[in-house]
Structure 1
């Protein structure tokens, strides 16, 4: 039985763990909250209390075939210490959940070869991808929605939404989970992927639709003369993994 360890059983990590258990994997899952340990256990996920900012023993957690890092933590020193522990473990395959926010808004389509900003996420990507002790696949997810994350709940209390004529880059939770399944299934490690719906409505279209659909009033947009945008291309992930997006119409959420 293949073992998968998920560092961070939150919005993405927990439903991902549940889906892997259903597929027959033995799943180890971590949380920073003692209250959630029993919840993970009840979902047939072997629970671990792990906070990478604390220098604790995670030897047992790292006895795994695939390590998925799905935490929002961005401290470089803590990741350097974590990587040193991975180096001493049996781990040979890593999936790191990153973000398309590493790309600047240059009014063009951004691929995996496009220029990036020197953000903490990019620095962590480099630390993992440049390590010769294991192979890391980095997934740069676009804006995340699904589950308890609904775009209608963003920009509350009349807060003005910037760049109404720019474009949205979003991906649904279901697609996030299935893409990770595909990477494990196809043993596709040592790669860098953008993951984003092919549909890029304007921010005005998208947030107006989301708010009205949920019964909220029409949102307020900033009046901006200079338009700044980017469109994230997922061509590579669709080609390499032969992946077809489940939610590829963002105006039908």
Structure 2
């Protein structure tokens, strides 16, 4: 299967599309902004205007073998409409990009077997894909994303205090996100749910202090919360199933 559609060619989707083009895939990409069409097409991406909230039909965009969903929308009605259209398309496999925010901070290491937050919209959207039998879906729950112009030293600006300094950092670099998606397709690893997070979990105090100082900022201020809440995301499953080794596994090596 060498035909891929990527819903959402933004911070992750655009370099992901380029990586598949370099591997010889035919790539269709989407954006919600007309201004970005020329930029994406100049990269060799066959580009479509797609907004799942508009309840439109996008048959041409879905004329592929594999669909990768890399948008931040949590519009459940929009996703229901999208899934109905996928059912009528040539799409056989779907990768849905979710988030480890579906896990609560309950002071433990979280695996894919742990309970998720029942009222989280991503949980409902995950289930819409997981329960559909017209195509196969693998769900990737990415931890906090960084890389490119998304750098931790830019977070918590304007004197904002950083909460839970004794809690732990759960993050993944964009290069690892892209490689993991490639491995899922290369290894035909479908009907799975994976956490994807660096194995390194420094404290938030350690991580953000180094991030700020390395960029020339002052030491950040921290908010010492009355209740100590944390979680550590385990990526053991994805490392065992895909034999994946993280490119950026030391979060303090800025």
Shorter-chain TM-score tier? over 0.9
Q: Which residue of 2 aligns with 1:60?
A: 60
Structure-2 residue corresponding to 1:203: 204
TM-score, L = length of structure 2? 0.98
- The alpha-carbon deviation at position 229 of structure 1 amounts to 0.3
Matched, 1:72 2:72: yes
Q: Where do residues 1-253 of structure 1 align in structure 2 (5 Å cutoff)?
A: 2-118=2-118, 119-253=120-254
Provide the alpha-carbon RMSD of the alignment: 0.8
Partner SS, residue 243 of structure 2: coil
CA deviation after TM superposition for structure 1 residue 227, in Å: 1.2
- How many residues matched? 253
1:59-107 per-residue CA deviation (whole Å, 9 max, x = no partner) reads: 1111111100000110111111111001111111000000000000010
Which structure 1 segments of 5+ residues have no match?
none
Q: CA deviation at 1:129?
A: 0.6
In 1, the alpha carbon distance for the partners of 2:97 and 2:153 equals 24
Superposition TM-score, scaled by structure 1 size:
0.99
Inter-partner Cα distance in structure 2 for 1:188 and 1:60 = 26
Question: Which sections of structure 2, spanning at least 5 residues, go unmatched?
Answer: none
Q: Distance in 2 between matches of 1:163 and 1:145?
A: 20
Question: Post-superposition shift, 1:224?
Answer: 2.1
Runs of 4+ in 1 over 3 A off after TM superposition: none
